Each structure stands twice: as structure tokens, then as C-alpha cells.
């Protein structure tokens, strides 16, 4: 008989960077047992949040071939384990000298609909859930509806990086990325596709 493990709605992992030269970093981002335990520790509609290091640049090598191989490995493992939707966004207010990135993985497709809420809906939700300051202003310095909208659109650098994989995803075909606006039926290769997010979401 197995012990019943407590499950969580949200898990946040913010420890070492995926490219840190440390054996523990490799475990955090590439160990099958550990990554699977994150999935199992979430409720059926749970959300995983992971700090995944410095943002890609337009001319960066594919993560799988560069210094962020561990980031690439983790994304593929999360997809294989069963997460239905995976997103990466950039944040420039981290004071690290470069934009930093965060990965969001949704265990349930329905839950990820909240990721695509409109700026107005986000503002309304914030006003309902967060107490204002004494002068009536928001207590948040770096987040509002417009910021959330920017998170929904991955950077061109991440799209280019994604399409530099050795096994190029089908949606990376030029007719899909740089087409004339006609509908293209491209099968999405995985739960993570910045191409689809930038062009079709």
C-alpha cells in the first residue's frame, strides 16, 4: 500500500541556474526521478514554475547544443512526462545584468487559458486580490495587465533558438513562420512551441 502524498496547486523551483557548473544543477534540471516527482506532486490542474536562467539572444545556439543544454533537456522531459502546455517568458527587472527567464508548465489545458487573459481581466483580478497602498495605488512595482500581455509573447530569440534544434520541428518551416497570412496546418511538435505562441496563439 502506497502512502498518500500531499499534492500542490503550484510548485516554484528557483535554485541554481540550469547552466551552473555544479552537479546539483544537473540533477535539478535533468534527473528523470526528480522531474517526475514535480509532476506527481501537482494536482491534476497544477502549475509548475521554474527559473531557467538567462534569456537567449537572437544569435544563440540551440539550447541543446549550447550552454543551456540542461534547460533544453528539462523542457523535453516535462513534455514527455505529460505537461500539456509549456511557456517561457523574460523578465528584465531582475537586476542580473541581462533578462532572466521563467518557465511555466500547465498540467491541464483548461488551466492554461488563464495564461492568455486580457490585460483588462488581469487588472481586474489584481484589484480584487491585492490590497492597494494608502494612497490608493497598486502595491506591485513591476507587474500589471500590460506586463502579463508581454509575458504571453515569447521573444523572437526563443523562437529562433527553438528552430535551430537538430530535429527541426515541423512548425519551423518558413511557410509557417514567414507565410503570407494564409492558414497553414502545421502539427505542433510538443507542449512547448514559441513558434505557435508568436504566430498563432
Tell the burial category of 38 from Cβ atoms under 10 Å away from its Cβ (0-12, 13-18, 19+): buried
pLDDT computed for residue 185 by the predictor: 52
pLDDT computed for residue 180 by the predictor: 54
pLDDT computed for residue 176 by the predictor: 63
C-alpha–C-alpha distance, residues 158 and 186, integer Å: 19
Those residues of the chain that have pLDDT short of 50 are 1-2, 181-184
* 163 close to 195: Cβ distance less than 8 angstroms: yes
C-alpha–C-alpha distance, residues 47 and 151, integer Å: 16
Cell of 91: 523578465
Cell of 82: 505529460
pLDDT in tens, 55-64: 888 888 787 7
pLDDT computed for residue 8 by the predictor: 96
pLDDT computed for residue 1 by the predictor: 44
**Confidence (pTM):** 0.84
Amino acid at each position: 500500500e502506497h502512502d498518500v502524498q500531499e499534492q500542490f496547486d503550484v510548485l516554484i523551483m528557483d535554485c541554481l541556474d540550469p547552466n551552473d557548473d555544479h552537479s546539483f544543477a544537473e540533477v535539478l534540471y535533468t534527473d528523470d526521478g526528480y522531474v517526475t516527482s514535480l509532476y506527481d506532486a501537482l494536482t491534476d490542474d497544477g502549475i509548475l514554475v521554474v527559473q531557467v536562467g538567462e534569456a537567449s539572444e537572437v544569435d544563440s545556439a540551440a539550447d541543446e547544443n549550447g550552454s543551456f543544454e540542461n534547460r533544453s533537456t528539462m523542457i523535453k522531459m516535462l513534455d514527455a512526462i505529460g505537461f500539456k502546455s509549456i511557456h517561457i517568458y523574460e523578465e528584465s527587472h531582475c537586476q542580473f545584468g541581462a533578462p532572466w527567464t521563467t518557465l511555466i508548465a500547465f498540467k491541464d489545458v483548461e488551466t492554461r487559458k488563464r495564461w492568455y487573459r486580457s490585460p483588462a481581466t488581469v487588472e481586474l483580478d489584481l484589484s480584487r486580490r491585492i490590497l492597494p497602498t494608502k494612497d490608493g495605488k497598486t502595491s506591485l512595482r513591476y507587474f500589471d495587465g500590460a506586463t502579463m500581455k508581454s509575458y504571453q509573447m515569447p521573444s523572437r530569440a526563443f523562437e529562433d533558438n527553438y528552430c535551430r534544434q537538430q530535429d527541426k520541428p515541423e512548425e519551423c518551416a518558413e511557410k509557417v513562420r514567414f507565410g503570407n497570412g494564409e492558414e497553414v496546418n502545421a502539427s505542433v511538435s510538443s507542449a512547448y512551441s514559441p513558434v505557435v505562441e508568436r504566430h498563432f496563439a
